[in-house]
């Protein structure tokens, strides 16, 4: 790792002068407005941010801090949709390097994919069950597409229920893995040749430079009665978090900046901003029917961390109550993610 700036006070204005690996945005990626306000700016070479970068990436792959030395993390808030976004985003080549080398696919697979407890897949299955039931067809007639499918585990649940499954990924190792699982892998240009009953976009739109354009592209692949599920990190309260700017806060901390993680979560959606994006794309919120949740497999022994387990179990217990009180609420919230399910058509006001 390159030597870091010695002090917080040592940061100079011109430390953000070299942007050869970045693109500077000039409008809100969520609603397109060019009216926004800068909320915070900090050089990547600052002690606190460089330490965060080092700790975040050092065990996930090989990273090159030189590319960040003269760049700044800058967060701005849109005055129209109130979404928050990073103003300086990695360019296409640097983005590919981050997702292929800084986040080495095999290392991250071993670190995260192999550590997921059964409860993780039960949660996935609950969602799949609700979504597929809402499609209203026999599983063998349902075509499902997962945009940014990762290692394909969500699609495998759909496949296990009998659906025809398709997915896309940028990473070659993940594509190869998916082909081995019997998933039909599509390139971006091939997506619009299909009509899917269910499209899943889970933890993807926060990573991309152009979420609106991608949503329009995927909308073109939605069958007339199809539904699309979008899930992104929940950016509620991000203004407070940016004011505190605690780079030592981990993902479970109330001060976590994960929703706007430097270099990766370049778009930060509140539920309202996500709603604005889907409205802009001409999609209508679709209210999923409620079903009882399967509780049987939620065993505390599956969770390695006691406090996380208690916290999650309380949330799990509260969620059906929340749904019962506000049954028409399509945007579901918890501390980490916000989901919305949409279908074709403009909302009726």
Region near Zn ion per CB under 5 A, out of 7-15, 22-30, 132-140, 207-215: 22-30
Selected from 16, 31, 128, 232, the binder of Zn ion by CB under 5 A is: 31
> Reduced to 3 states, what is the DSSP secondary structure of residue 4?
coil
Region near Zn ion per CB under 5 A, out of 30-38, 66-74, 89-97, 151-159: 30-38
- Beta carbon of residue 304, minimum distance to Zn ion (angstroms, whole number): 39
- Beta carbon of residue 80, minimum distance to Zn ion (angstroms, whole number): 5
- Beta carbon of residue 244, minimum distance to Zn ion (angstroms, whole number): 23
Selected from 4, 16, 30, 40, the binder of Zn ion by CB under 5 A is: 30
Angle at 125 between CA 124 and CA 131, to 5 degrees: 95
Burial class (CB in 10 A: 0-12, 13-18, 19+), 100: middle
Q: What is the rounded CA–CA span in Å between residue 142 and residue 145?
A: 10
> Reduced to 3 states, what is the DSSP secondary structure of residue 279?
helix
Q: Which of these, 112, 42, 73, 51, lies nearest to 264 by C-alpha position?
A: 73
CB nearer to Zn ion: pick between 28 and 156: 28
- Per the listing, tokens 């979404």 go with 83
CB nearer to Zn ion: pick between 39 and 67: 39
CB nearer to Zn ion: pick between 178 and 274: 274
CB nearer to Zn ion: pick between 46 and 77: 77
CB nearer to Zn ion: pick between 2 and 27: 27
Binding mask 83-112 for Zn ion (x = CB under 5 A): x-----------------------------
- Beta carbon of residue 12, minimum distance to Zn ion (angstroms, whole number): 31
CB nearer to Zn ion: pick between 27 and 253: 27
CB nearer to Zn ion: pick between 167 and 211: 211
CB nearer to Zn ion: pick between 16 and 260: 260
Q: What is the rounded CA–CA span in Å between residue 269 and residue 286?
A: 19
Selected from 23, 33, 41, 121, the binder of Zn ion by CB under 5 A is: 33
Q: What is the rounded CA–CA span in Å between residue 140 and residue 164?
A: 7
Longest pairwise C-alpha distance within the chain: 64
- Beta carbon of residue 86, minimum distance to Zn ion (angstroms, whole number): 14
DSSP string, 162-207: T-EEEEE-S-HHHHHHHHHTT-EE--GGGGGG--EEEEEEES-TTT
- Beta carbon of residue 333, minimum distance to Zn ion (angstroms, whole number): 20
Decide: 258 and 203 in contact? Cβ < 8 Å. Answer: no
Q: Which of residues 69-88 bind Zn ion (CB under 5 A)?
A: 78, 80-81, 83
What are the φ and ψ backbone dihedral angles of 267, each rounded to 5 degrees?
A: -125, 135
Burial class (CB in 10 A: 0-12, 13-18, 19+), 33: middle
Residue 28 found at the interface with Zn ion (CB under 5 A): yes
DSSP helix, strand, coil percent of the chain (3-state; round to 5): 40, 20, 40
Q: Which of residues 140-199 bind Zn ion (CB under 5 A)?
A: none
Site of interaction with Zn ion (CB under 5 A): 28, 30-31, 33, 78, 80-81, 83
């Amino acid at each position: 790792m390159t030597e870091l700036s010695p002090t917080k006070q040592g940061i100079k204005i011109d430390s953000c002068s070299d942007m050869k690996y970045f693109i500077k945005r000039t409008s809100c990626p969520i609603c397109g407005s060019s009216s926004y306000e800068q909320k915070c700016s900090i050089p990547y070479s600052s002690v606190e941010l460089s330490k965060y970068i080092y700790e975040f990436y050092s065990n996930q792959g090989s990273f090159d801090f030189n590319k960040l030395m003269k760049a700044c993390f800058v967060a701005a808030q849109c005055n129209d949709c109130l979404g928050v976004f990073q103003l300086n985003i990695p360019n296409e080549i640097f983005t590919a390097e981050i997702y292929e080398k800084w986040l080495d696919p095999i290392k991250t697979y071993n670190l995260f994919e192999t550590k997921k407890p059964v409860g993780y897949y039960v949660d996935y299955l609950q969602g799949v069950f609700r979504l597929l039931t809402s499609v209203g067809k026999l599983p063998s007639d349902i075509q499902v597409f997962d945009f940014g499918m990762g290692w394909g585990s969500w699609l495998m649940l759909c496949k296990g229920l009998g659906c025809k499954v398709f997915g896309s990924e940028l990473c070659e190792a993940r594509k190869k893995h998916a082909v081995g699982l019997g998933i039909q892998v599509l390139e971006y240009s091939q997506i619009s040749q299909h009509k899917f009953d269910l499209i899943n976009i889970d933890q993807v739109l926060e990573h991309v430079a152009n979420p609106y354009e991608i949503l329009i592209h995927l909308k073109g692949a939605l069958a007339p009665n199809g539904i699309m599920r979008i899930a992104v990190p929940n950016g509620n309260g991000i203004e407070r978090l940016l004011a505190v700017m605690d780079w030592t806060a981990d993902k479970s901390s109330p001060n976590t900046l994960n929703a706007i993680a430097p270099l990766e979560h370049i778009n930060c959606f509140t539920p309202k901003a996500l709603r604005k994006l889907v409205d802009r794309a001409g999609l209508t919120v679709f209210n999923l029917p409620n079903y009882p949740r399967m509780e049987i497999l939620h065993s505390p022994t599956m969770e390695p961390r006691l406090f996380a387990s208690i916290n999650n179990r309380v949330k799990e217990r509260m969620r059906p109550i929340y749904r019962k009180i506000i049954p028409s609420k399509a945007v579901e919230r918890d501390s980490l993610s916000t989901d919305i399910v949409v279908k074709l058509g403009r909302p009726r006001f």
